[in-house]
């Protein structure tokens, strides 16, 4: 039997420093070797106790979580699970921590202040185990600054896309998406539909961050909007995203139906909808992430003649989602994160020049 995973808990709340070890040590494969009340003490404890994984609060006195994260990345390169507040500020800080090298995050439940952490115990333990196995993220892709959107050539606004790219992504996703989308040119004729496993509120902040670094338009999806070229739509947390053909063309439909594979949003839901609506014109991509969400439904896109892609293991933080699809034989091609932007751009034909007659066509119909 292997030794338990050594975990250090860094949190300014005395209650959290008591409760987090209690819930983690319900799992015999995890041992909390120490706690620290802020980043300054946390860094000293890392040197003394040699943990394999760190759980990190972000709102702390003296040295806060983001400053601590920078030091962990610079000095120790250990995997960190951020334990963040489910709030607007918490979402913003969490995304920043992920960009600095945090492995993943877990949001504090509403009942945390009352001492109830049981609802997140399983999730936290699962992510600690995955982090211990994966170690510090292997690939930290440099994101080049995008040109200001105001100086870009005009995208063919309100025109339907030539291809739809449905993306399922989880652990490691924010950084992988930022790299991929930041490299897509402004004249991109496709449309991305993205399911990133994140809570409500976090996806809005993610979309804003991705939009700031991208030449195409990135935002959170809204029910009833048409699919247009040169944009990426992020499914809101706690919703599923479907595509429906309407009188005006293909539109987004959001729903709150039951979780699928334990997730809402679920890549399986998106892939099934895209397979039905677009068939051979669809592209499905499974990127870095734990679990197997999207694996069953990506087969439907393959069977319909669409293109099915998987991010390669070497550029994933965790490769469970894409690897599972590869092992089932559902993937047409495995591609590195670095190669994905150019490959996807090449799969989307240029839009033809828009005539005066075409300019009056109602948007949303896939070509």
Read off the DSSP letter of residue 252: E
Query: Could you give the CA distance from residue 193 to residue 334 in angstroms, rounded to a whole number?
Result: 19
Cis amide leading into 151 (omega within 30): no
State yes or no: pLDDT of 113 exceeds 50: yes
What average pLDDT does range 10-19 have in this prediction?
Answer: 93
Beta strand spans in the chain (E): 5-10, 30-36, 53-56, 80-84, 104-107, 164-169, 191-196, 217-220, 231-234, 240-246, 249-255, 282-286, 307-311, 333-335
Query: Could you give the CA distance from residue 216 to residue 301 in angstroms, rounded to a whole number?
Result: 25
Output the pLDDT for position 27: 93
pLDDT, averaged across the chain: 90
Rounded to a whole number of angstroms, the CA Rg of the chain reads 21
Output the pLDDT for position 145: 61
State yes or no: pLDDT of 364 exceeds 60: no
State yes or no: pLDDT of 301 exceeds 80: yes
Output the pLDDT for position 365: 40
Query: Could you give the CA distance from residue 224 to residue 26 in angstroms, rounded to a whole number?
Result: 45
Query: Could you give the CA distance from residue 111 to residue 126 in angstroms, rounded to a whole number?
Result: 20
State yes or no: pLDDT of 30 exceeds 60: yes
State yes or no: pLDDT of 354 exceeds 90: no
Q: HSE-up of 52 (CA within 13 Å, CB side)?
A: 17
Output the pLDDT for position 148: 59
**CA angle (159 as vertex; 305, 243 as ends), nearest 5:** 50
Q: HSE-up of 14 (CA within 13 Å, CB side)?
A: 0
CB-based contacts of 344, cutoff 8 Å, min separation 6: 165, 180, 184, 190, 283, 285
State yes or no: pLDDT of 115 exceeds 60: yes
- Please report which confidence band the pLDDT of residue 350 belongs to, taking 50, 70 and 90 as the band edges: confident
Closest CA to 272 of 251, 302, 311, 292: 302
Positions marked catalytic:
170, 197, 293
Output the pLDDT for position 300: 98
Model confidence over 48-89: pLDDT tens digits? 999 999 999 998 888 999 999 999 999 999 999 999 877 788
What average pLDDT does range 354-364 have in this prediction?
Answer: 46
State yes or no: pLDDT of 18 exceeds 50: yes
Q: Whole-prediction pTM value?
A: 0.91
- Please report which confidence band the pLDDT of residue 363 belongs to, taking 50, 70 and 90 as the band edges: very low
CB 181 within 8 A of CB 287: no
What average pLDDT does range 135-147 have in this prediction?
Answer: 68
3-class secondary-structure state, position 247 = coil
Q: What is the DSSP string of 144-208?
A: PPPPPGGGSPPP-TTPPPS-EEEEEE-TTHHHHHHHHHHTS-TT---EEEEEE---TTHHHHHHH
State yes or no: pLDDT of 172 exceeds 80: yes
User: For the chain, how many residues are written?
Assistant: 367
Q: Which phi-psi region, left, alpha or beta, contains residue 356 (left: φ > 0; alpha: ψ -120 to 50)?
A: alpha
Which domains are present in the chain? 5-134 (3.40.50.2300), 149-349 (3.40.50.180)
Output the pLDDT for position 110: 75
- Please report which confidence band the pLDDT of residue 157 belongs to, taking 50, 70 and 90 as the band edges: low
The mean-pLDDT minimum among 108-112, 116-120, 208-212 falls in 108-112
Output the pLDDT for position 88: 80
Higher pLDDT, 326 or 249: 326
Output the pLDDT for position 139: 64
Model confidence over 218-240: pLDDT tens digits? 999 999 999 999 999 999 999 99
Q: HSE-up of 347 (CA within 13 Å, CB side)?
A: 24
Output the pLDDT for position 62: 87
- Please report which confidence band the pLDDT of residue 143 belongs to, taking 50, 70 and 90 as the band edges: low
- Please report which confidence band the pLDDT of residue 151 belongs to, taking 50, 70 and 90 as the band edges: low
Neighbours of 57 (CB within 10 A): 26
CB 265 within 8 A of CB 197: yes
Query: Could you give the CA distance from residue 83 to residue 248 in angstroms, rounded to a whole number?
Result: 44
State yes or no: pLDDT of 98 exceeds 90: yes
Query: Could you give the CA distance from residue 236 to residue 241 in angstroms, rounded to a whole number?
Result: 8
């Amino acid at each position: 039997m292997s030794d338990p995973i050594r975990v250090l808990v860094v949190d300014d709340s005395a209650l959290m420093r008591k409760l987090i070890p209690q819930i983690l040590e319900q799992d015999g494969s995890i041992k909390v070797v120490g706690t620290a009340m802020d980043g300054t003490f946390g860094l000293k404890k890392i040197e003394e106790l040699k943990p394999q994984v760190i759980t990190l609060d972000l709102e702390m006195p003296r040295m806060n979580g983001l400053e601590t994260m920078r030091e962990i990345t610079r000095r120790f390169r250990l995997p960190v699970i951020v334990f963040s507040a489910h709030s607007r500020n918490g979402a913003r800080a969490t995304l920043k921590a992920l960009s600095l090298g945090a492995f993943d995050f877990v949001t504090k439940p509403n009942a945390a202040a009352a001492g109830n952490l049981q609802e997140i115990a399983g999730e936290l333990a699962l992510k600690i185990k995955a982090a211990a196995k994966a170690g510090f993220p292997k690939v930290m892709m440099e994101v080049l600054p995008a040109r200001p959107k105001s100086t870009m050539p005009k995208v063919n606004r309100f025109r339907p896309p030539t291809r739809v790219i449905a993306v399922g992504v989880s652990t490691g996703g924010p950084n992988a998406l930022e790299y991929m989308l930041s490299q897509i040119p402004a004249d991109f004729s496709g449309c991305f539909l993205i399911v990133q496993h994140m809570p409500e509120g976090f996806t809005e902040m993610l979309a804003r961050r991705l939009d700031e670094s991208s030449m195409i338009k990135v935002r959170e999806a809204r029910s009833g909007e048409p699919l247009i070229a040169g944009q990426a739509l992020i499914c809101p947390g706690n919703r599923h995203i479907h595509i429906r053909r309407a009188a005006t063309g293909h539109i987004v439909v959001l729903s709150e139906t039951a979780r699928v594979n334990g997730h809402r949003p679920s890549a399986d839901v998106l892939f099934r909808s895209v397979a039905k609506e677009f068939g051979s014109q669809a592209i499905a991509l499974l990127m870095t992430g734990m679990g197997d969400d999207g694996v069953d439904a990506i087969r439907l896109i393959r069977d319909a003649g669409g293109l099915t892609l998987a991010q390669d293991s070497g550029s994933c933080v965790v490769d469970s989602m894409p690897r599972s699809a590869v092992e089932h034989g559902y993937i047409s091609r495995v591609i590195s994160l670095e190669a994905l932007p150019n490959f996807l751009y090449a799969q989307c034909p240029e839009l033809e020049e828009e005539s005066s007659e075409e300019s009056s066509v109602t948007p949303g119909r896939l070509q």
